[in-house]
Structure 1
Amino acid sequence: MSKANTRRVTASDVARAVGLSRATVGFVLNDTPGQTIPEATRARVLAEAKRLGYRANTSARALASGRTRIILLVLPDWPLDYSMRTHLDEASLALDEAGYSLVTMTPHPGGQARPLWETLRPDVVLGMAYFTPEQLDEMRASGIEHIFPPTPADEQEPAQELGFVEGPRLQVEHLLSQSRRRLAFASSPDPRLADLAQQRLALASDTLRTATGADFAHVGAIDESTAAQQVEKWLGDGVDAVVAYNDDIAALVLQAALRAGTKVPQDLAIVGHDDTPLARLLVPSLSTIRIDNAGLGRYLAALALSAVNGEDAPAAGPETGATLVVRETS
């Protein structure tokens, strides 16, 4: 293949092909604001650029505009479960529609990889969890102007906008409304989820103490190897309801209870969290907490776009709350 066939198509090539000035074509290809270019001219330029195989020089555009059109989302070291995947898919789609790319990274303890905020120079860095003071200092030293959350965890309240407060509260209140009085909390043994599981336990415990003056009768981590023994112990001590960290943990509790011959929900009520497809497929189907993960993804995208556009952050709407879904286990 000759060099002529592999040379990158430039805006000047498009300008020559359509018989317009390089400036006019540049305004169209860069979508420069404030220009009064007829729509027919704009359409002709874009059509010719597509025919010639023109691709924008993103590096040059970033230098000229000061923007890379990249949003970096820093993820906690959590499993990429159903809820997280839904959240990320929707955020990525919303940002793509606005002309931005969503890039994710997950810092690992002891990791040696160079942070992507240093190499990509994103327009915004978002965190699914609070950043450490050291991370915030590193980002600002790298020239990152837009960071959310902008302050570390010890300077903020728990992330109520993500539905973490409403979910555990609704789990407990629902079970109490069913005249359940001896509750257990089934947590996750995954060390990556320890902080989040502890947060949900604390919120559920506060609700229970406020309503009854009592604490959970039992708290324990559940996995496939311990579920049967743990649930048998709880049932033997009179536990009549279980608040589960998520639907996966609730499913393990349900399986153990049914294998022990326990009637659900007559003798043991169970409420999960996240409303995954599993919750609907179980028999009996699982009562759970629904979080609008797609809505949260769009909200996350809106936060990023408001930052790069110099606008006020959007107010949290109903998509940031939680809803109780009552099925057959309660």
Structure 2
Amino acid sequence: MGAKAGKRVTAADVARSLGLSRATVGFVLNGTTGQRISEATRDRVLAEAARLGYRPHTAAQTLRRGSSKLVLLVLPDWPVEFSIGKCVEEASHALEEAGYSLITQTRHPAGTARPLWELLDPEVVIGFGPFTPEELTAMRGCGITKVIPRPVKSPSPSDPLGLHDGPRLQVEHLRTLGHTRLGFAATADPRLAGLVESRLHVCRKTAESLELPPPVVRSVDDAPDAAGWAVRDWLGANVTGVVAYNDESAARVVRAAVRAGHEVPADLAVIGHDDNPYAALFVPSISSIRIDYAGLGRHLAALALHEATGRSLPADGAGAAAAVVARESTGSSPTGQ
């Protein structure tokens, strides 16, 4: 005898099907220790539960043991690039080692789906960007008190995760090579507007600290010959080095420059960001900034476990160290300045 179609199978359904008490079935399904239940009865309960399609009720289990062992990572509506994927993968592995499961949800501005914190009762909610006051109020209404609203601050004078080091190193690398007039290759993707502005903000502040003029900003998106026009504008403005928002933007600039008959890096040096795998395969290979996104993922996991269990945070901080990976796309300024 099975449950009606569309109805959630409960422990009571299993007990009714077997002619056993609900308490006995509950003890077996919940793995309650210290009960005198024969192995034969346990096997019967588990077999019937599987046959009927019984699944544990998450909220009920949470009430019983005081922890759902779930961590929810709320992602902004960004393209899932190599860097974000590596970060999430490493966070998931670190949490699994501690007995927790990581679930992710992407927030879409026009989305109507209910947030997962209302459906899954996560123990900790982490935002990869700031939560709105309305979201924080909704979480509190669901009984969620362990919230990390902003593990990545953008833009901000302080940068506890070290993510502002990348744009700073891009500018410093080009300046060290003699470039005094810089460009900034941006993307016009509205989903990335905040992140682009954050990196551009750091780029401008670093140029100012080095007594360089503000970078000449151009978009290098998919619009017909956008990168080509950007290259012409930069060369016309005596720009010799370009800081690219990411490696894809850098690749667009390098391709446009080479197709226009310019030499990279002799006429225009370019440095990307994130050190995606294809940066080393491009011709000429693209200099980039390597961020320890795996370390950042481990740090996010450590933040979650600190909130959930009180575990101490690692002494080495965020682990999102940034470093220049110099390749063929950067070189000395053609003017020797």
> Do they fold alike, i.e. is TM over 0.5?
yes
Report the 3-state secondary structure (helix = DSSP H, G, I; strand = E; otherwise coil) of the residue aligned with 2:280: helix
Aligned partners of 1:303, 1:159: CA distance in 2, in Å?
A: 18
Report the 3-state secondary structure (helix = DSSP H, G, I; strand = E; otherwise coil) of the residue aligned with 1:319: coil
Q: 1:199 to 1:94 in 2, by over 3 A?
A: same
For 1:135, give the aligned amino acid: E
For 2:75, give the aligned amino acid: L
The TM-score, its normalising length taken from structure 1, stands at 0.80
* Alignment gaps of 5+ in structure 1: 14-21, 36-43
Aligned partners of 1:149, 1:68: CA distance in 2, in Å?
A: 20
Aligned partners of 1:298, 1:151: CA distance in 2, in Å?
A: 12
Alignment RMSD (CA, Å) = 3.4
Contact 2:128 2:151 in 1 (8 A): no
1:143 lines up with 2:175 in the alignment: no
Q: Deviations over 1:113-137 (max 9, x none)?
A: 2221112111000011111222112
The TM-score, its normalising length taken from structure 2, stands at 0.79
**Bigger helix fraction:** 1
Task: Using the TM superposition, give the Cα deviation of residue 318 of structure 1 relative to its aligned residue in structure 2, in angstroms.
Answer: 6.3
Aligned partners of 2:275, 2:81: CA distance in 1, in Å?
A: 12
Aligned partners of 1:146, 1:188: CA distance in 2, in Å?
A: 35
Task: Using the TM superposition, give the Cα deviation of residue 238 of structure 1 relative to its aligned residue in structure 2, in angstroms.
Answer: 1.3
Task: Using the TM superposition, give the Cα deviation of residue 58 of structure 1 relative to its aligned residue in structure 2, in angstroms.
Answer: 5.5
Q: 1:237 to 1:328 in 2, by over 3 A?
A: same
Residue 221 (structure 1) aligns with = 219
Aligned partners of 2:302, 2:55: CA distance in 1, in Å?
A: 25
Q: How does 1:209-288 map to 2 (within 5 A)?
A: 209-216=208-215, 218-224=216-222, 225=224, 226-288=226-288
1:82 lines up with 2:86 in the alignment: no
Count of equivalent residues:
303
Q: How does 1:46-195 map to 2 (within 5 A)?
A: 57=56, 59=58, 60-149=60-149, 157=156, 160-195=159-194
Aligned partners of 2:267, 2:153: CA distance in 1, in Å?
A: 41
* Alignment gaps of 5+ in structure 2: 3-8, 16-23, 331-337
Identity across aligned pairs (percent)? 46
Report the 3-state secondary structure (helix = DSSP H, G, I; strand = E; otherwise coil) of the residue aligned with 1:160: coil
Q: How does 1:23-42 map to 2 (within 5 A)?
A: 29=31
Q: Deviations over 1:211-264 (max 9, x none)?
A: 115211x10111132111111121122110000000000000000111111111
Q: Deviations over 1:161-202 (max 9, x none)?
A: 443210000000000000001100001111100010001000
Contact 1:161 1:321 in 2 (8 A): no
